[in-house]
Chains A and B, each alone.
Chain A
């Protein structure tokens, strides 16, 4: 294990299951015997506000918050939030972004426009962007609410940890009656990125 501390951001809109996803990820990392810190801010908004959760892991982690320009991965549950927090990523880092738009109040009221070029803006920053239709994939697993775990499955396929620790963490952390749906959602997300990677290699 190197001394390097790795940083993951999980961002989206209040109510999308962001905290649960960060919780499962953190538990996986604890099982893998990393030192782990997770920072979140919740308060003002029961619902509908911008949510940003930070997970840091390595041999020894001090700060619970990630510095701008230091994140290795981002899971974005909503496109505008991916753009909002993209300054936190390192050049060459990866964003796994749910292909979902949720208009904030200024847009609903017609006082601001939802940017139409989010993908272009993110790619222009030198970030590796993977767009995933996680909500549709979650529906395949049995519930659109499992989109958070689909995205986690996508992230898992990029990280060097066995699938069994992920399954175990899902079993521990999600409500008991949703374990099977969530495991299936995880597999769908995992397979999507693995197959895509294989396809990319085939192209080369």
Chain B
């Protein structure tokens, strides 16, 4: 039976069918739904790790223990997990190990669009790339087999278009059974220099064997058509090429590292003009040129952002009209994402803006604090960066009005070690932890601070207050961010201190707990000062000369009520009693 599955659902199904027993990862768009789907299978132990490095280390242990294993993360997550990855290539595996790594060309939900195909080359591991959901499912199985056969981890690299597009997948496969015994082998698994040197040369032999395998791998194949023009394409680019140039010859690359040199050379020899179509960097093109093959690529095909049929047509045909038609009508008001009505982050950013502090930001929904009208953020680099950034900035400038803002899940991911640095090296930055009891940005996943596991079991909650005190932070406050007066008082007090301090703003995400409450309304006392409009709440709009609250959106958090000096934002019952409206 064929059913429509997203790339992420297909990868989960492929992992199930291939007999995967252990799965770990950290949420990150566009990879998140893989583990969420896997969690539905009782046969698979799937869990959220605090970060990607831990996820991969758990995966390595599981593989050594003999289980087929899958580890999932977004592209920047592999930066975090790169440390174990590079040594894992030396040791190799026991049970098959596939690392699913989701790139995000065009940065739909990311801070950069790094091309993670480079990781395969630099870490010296094989990489597979699906071009639709059926292939995604198949390549999990193939990847695990390659991993076991060549004693090496395999990266399955996807892009947003593969993860989040749906296509038909055959789901009649029975789950395979596979497990291996663990055999202690210190030469292979204990990477002291003497052992690592041996594994280093052994790795080259494995790569040579993999390069040979790549020639025979059925995922790499030529679809012959016209010999006057031919394309070499990987991932979703293959689909676009087939769409735009149905008559052309196409060499589909599914194992992007190591590349099948003989197959490619033979193809290039038989085609008059060969164009390499790949998203982001000239990864394939550069290798082909290093081999002396006469191909073109980035001279015609853009190297920034996602490709699509139009950009490829325009690039290859030199069609100016096609690129002109891409210009969007720019007089249409944009619809940027915004913090939800009642979001507990809103009031904190409103205060940070009013206090004109230097705000080192981090990765999460709260990064929206940079957008108008809040505009209360100075930096955003990567997961956990805010605290170190605040520390360095404060040391360089001597300023005391520096705060780091980080979410609860991001703090668990990589906020603890920089906070240790602040304590250890006598920093005085104030760290604000926005504890909304979930990983909100990626769709509300649990994390160690909530104690609930991916499988839904309740467990021990990491107590952030006790944790930061144990690290040596003496000044710690827990504040309700809906209380603006208390919030402002806490920030004012903590930034004045010459010691590290932490303020935990604790209130659950309005989506996580499906919070509803009695909506507020604007009464005639409104003096048109527009203070409430500085909150950027989607429930508030400006109509003619006064604010209006959309009752279907408002949850009654009363942050706007506290901002309103005229006392014009009230509950409906107060309005009835008061002005007699």
Residues of A within 8 A of B (CB): 13-14, 26-27, 30, 35-50, 61-65, 67-69, 80-81, 83-84, 87, 103-115
Contact = CB atoms under 8 A, between A and B. Distances in A.
A108 B326 CA distance: 28
B9 to A, nearest CB: 12
A110 B2 CA distance: 50
Contacts of B240: 62-63
Contacts of B242: 62-63
A108 B538 contact: yes
B533 A48 contact: no
Contact of A42 (B4, B164, B167): B164
Contacts of A104: 333-336
Nearest to B241: A62
Contact of B325 (A47, A68, A115): A68
A44 B104 CA distance: 12
A8 B542 CA distance: 35
Given A48-B340, A108-B542, 7 more contacts: A36-B168, A62-B240, A64-B167, A104-B333, A105-B338, A109-B533, A113-B333
Given A30-B4, A62-B243, A69-B325, A46 B365 contact: yes
CB-CB nearest 5 A-B residue pairs: A43-B109, A45-B337, A64-B165, A112-B333, A104-B335
Interface string B153-164: 000000011001
Given A87-B328, A109-B373, A110-B533, A49 B337 contact: yes
Contacts of B2: 30
Nearest to A121: B329
B168 A35 contact: yes
A69 B309 CA distance: 12
Contact of B334 (A38, A47, A61, A106): A106
B309 A65 contact: yes
Given A45-B337, A110-B542, A80 B236 contact: no
A75 B169 CA distance: 26
A27 to B, nearest CB: 7
A38 B4 contact: yes
B310 A67 contact: yes
A38 B169 CA distance: 13
Contacts of B308: 63, 65, 67
Given A44-B109, A46-B443, A63-B240, A105 B164 contact: no
Q: In terms of DSSP, what is the predominant structure of the interface of chain A?
A: loop
Interface string B227-255: 00000000010011011000000000000
B166 interface: yes
17 contacts: A30-B4, A35-B168, A37-B167, A39-B161, A43-B29, A44-B337, A46-B440, A50-B335, A62-B240, A63-B309, A64-B236, A64-B239, A65-B308, A106-B334, A108-B538, A111-B372, A115-B333
B541 interface: yes
A36 B166 CA distance: 8
Interface string B526-547: 0000000100101011100000
B467 interface: no
Contacts of B338: 45, 47-48, 105
A84 B325 CA distance: 14
A173 to B, nearest CB: 10
With a 10 A CB-CB cut-off, give which of A35, A106, A108, A111 has the most chain B CB atoms. Answer: A108
A28 B326 CA distance: 31
Contacts of A47: 337-338, 340, 511, 538
B8 to A, nearest CB: 11
Nearest to B106: A41
Contact of A49 (B236, B335, B541): B335
Given A26-B166, A68-B325, A80-B332, A46 B340 contact: yes
Contacts of B365: 46
A38 to B, nearest CB: 4
B500 interface: no
Contacts of A84: 328-329, 332, 335
Interface in B541-579: 541-542
B161 A64 contact: yes
Contact of A114 (B4, B329, B333, B373): B333
A143 to B, nearest CB: 13
Interface string B310-345: 100000000000000110110111111110100000
Contacts of A81: 335
